[in-house]
Structure 1
Amino acid sequence: MGVYTFVCKKSGDSWSAKQHSGDLEAAADSTFDLQRKLVQTALSSGDSGAVQSSFNYITPSSAVAQVIIGGAVAAAVVGGGAAAAAPSGGAAAAEAPKEEKKPEKEESEDEDMGFSLFD
């Protein structure tokens, strides 16, 4: 797993980025293009696997970008509201816990009060 952190600065109309502790660099005319170039630059270092990237402004003319290659990938469980992490090998998937369903009561609050709003 590789984690690459870049310090990004805007100069005029273009952005440049230099790796915080390393030799990787990139430059582009927009932050979107810079992020794409940073991902490609990080991938060229030899790491492989799932790619996650983030770009966070510090000031309007400076930012921090991070590219993570490999590692665990989170998968959302539909309806359960929980997330499970799969190993980077991808061989085993986490199983969501089973929910017990309780029968619902069909009571109306209007009947409990002895009157209805529509009477």
Structure 2
Amino acid sequence: MGVFTFVCRSSGGDWNAKQLAGDLESSASSTYELQRKLVNAAVAADSSGGVQSSFSLVTPSSAVFQVIIGGVSGGGGFSGGGVSSAVAGGGGAAAEAPPPEKEEEKEESDDDMGFSLFD
């Protein structure tokens, strides 16, 4: 599993990105084009599995972009705001089932209270 983290900055209308710990970098005229180039560069460096990516603006002119290659397949890589147990446990653990949904509480009517607001 490969994790590629990029720091992205906008300068003069162009976006530039440099890998946090590595030699990959790219530039483009839009964040969308930049993300596509960075994913392609990451896949060229490590093509061991499925690709997940995340782009987060920090300020209007800076962002963090992360590409994860490999790991969990089937679209269940992240759940509940954290890494699933399959990823956290090294891939050997099964993902936990979501907690059961709470039954909706029945609303009490004013007849049940022994008085009515409209009498």
TM-score norm. by structure 2 comes to: 0.65
**Structure 2 CA distance for aligned equivalents of residues 34 and 23 of structure 1:** 16
CA radius of gyration, larger in: 1
**Does the 8 A contact of 1:3 with 1:68 survive in 2?**
yes
Distance in 1 (alpha carbons) for counterparts of 2:107 and 2:11: 66
- 8 Å CA contact retained: 2:85, 2:96: no
1:65 aligns with 65
Partner deviation per Cα, 1:24-74 (whole Å, 9 max, x = no partner): 111111011111211111111123323222222333322221111122324
Unaligned runs of 5+ in 1: 77-82
- Partner residue, 1:13: 13
State the identity as a percent.
61
More helix by share: 2
| Structure 2: 5+ residue stretches without partners | none
TM-score (norm 1): 0.65
* Structure 1 residue matching 2:32: 3-state secondary structure: helix
**Counterparts of 1:63 and 1:106 in 2: how far apart (Å)?**
46
Q: In the comparison of the two structures, how many residue pairs are matched?
A: 111
Alignment RMSD (CA, Å): 3.7
Q: Work out whether 1:96 is the aligned partner of 2:97.
A: yes
